[in-house]
Amino acid sequence: MRFTNTTERYGLVSILLHWAVALLTIGLFVLGLWMVDLGYYDDWYYQAPWWHKGLGFIVFLLVLLRWLWRPIAGKPAAISATPIWQHLAAKVVHQLMNLAIVVLAVTGYLIVTAKGQPLGIFDWFNIPAYTRLSVATSDLVSKLHLWSGYFIMALASLHALAALTHHFIYKDATLRRMLNL
């Protein structure tokens, strides 16, 4: 299997990046909702946020890597039978998911660093605070983080539904070529 993409299908790097970002993002969403309700004596009380921060940083790096890889690796041609509005809709959803990831990363960083504490990425290194936030701004940023989480899950559901429609109803290669089948 090729590393780079061809006009027909995706290469290994693109496929792995796509699915890693997909699975990690869903995992972070569930982990995030779960961890905020943990009790103080729970084993995961400190571990869950530790993982959430570290994995969140990894996802952000992977998304940056995808943006760098895309012009290098090229992109399979659009499947011509698909109507133009669907191409447009797909593009809009892709870009909104990119936007949501950036918002999630930035707001996540701001929540942790709101009072000057650094953001620890696993036990590897700390990202220092850039600015201090007022309580009102900090609460707004928290809400934005949560809403962006819901937003990206809604977009991902649309995206998955579209892929499944292509696979089972149009019976074209859209999903297969992202699965190396």
Per CB under 8 A, residues contacting another protein are 36-37, 39-41, 49, 111-117, 135-136, 138-139, 142
Rounded least distance, CB 107 to another protein, Å: 12
- For residue 171, CA distances in Å to 55, 133, 157 come to 35, 51, 19
Task: Give 5 or 113: the residue with its C-beta nearer to another protein.
Answer: 113
Task: Give 19 or 45: the residue with its C-beta nearer to another protein.
Answer: 45
Task: Give 150 or 170: the residue with its C-beta nearer to another protein.
Answer: 150
Rounded least distance, CB 153 to another protein, Å: 21
Give Rg (Cα) of the chain.
19
Biggest CA–CA distance in the chain, Å, is: 57
**What is the C-alpha to C-alpha distance for residues 181 and 167, in angstroms, rounded to an integer?**
12
H-helix segments, 36-134:
44-73, 84-113
Rounded least distance, CB 115 to another protein, Å: 4
Phi, psi of 126 (to 5 degrees): -115, 140
Q: Which residues contact 8 (CB under 8 A, 6 or more apart)?
A: 76, 77, 173, 177
**What is the C-alpha to C-alpha distance for residues 11 and 26, in angstroms, rounded to an integer?**
23
Secondary structure (3-state) at 7: coil
Rounded least distance, CB 54 to another protein, Å: 15
Rounded least distance, CB 40 to another protein, Å: 5
Q: Burial, 44: exposed, middle or buried (Cβ in 10 Å; 0-12, 13-18, 19+)?
A: middle
Task: Give 98 or 142: the residue with its C-beta nearer to another protein.
Answer: 142
Q: How many whole angstroms from its chain centre is CA 119?
A: 19
Task: Give 145 or 177: the residue with its C-beta nearer to another protein.
Answer: 145
Rounded least distance, CB 171 to another protein, Å: 48
Task: Give 3 or 45: the residue with its C-beta nearer to another protein.
Answer: 45
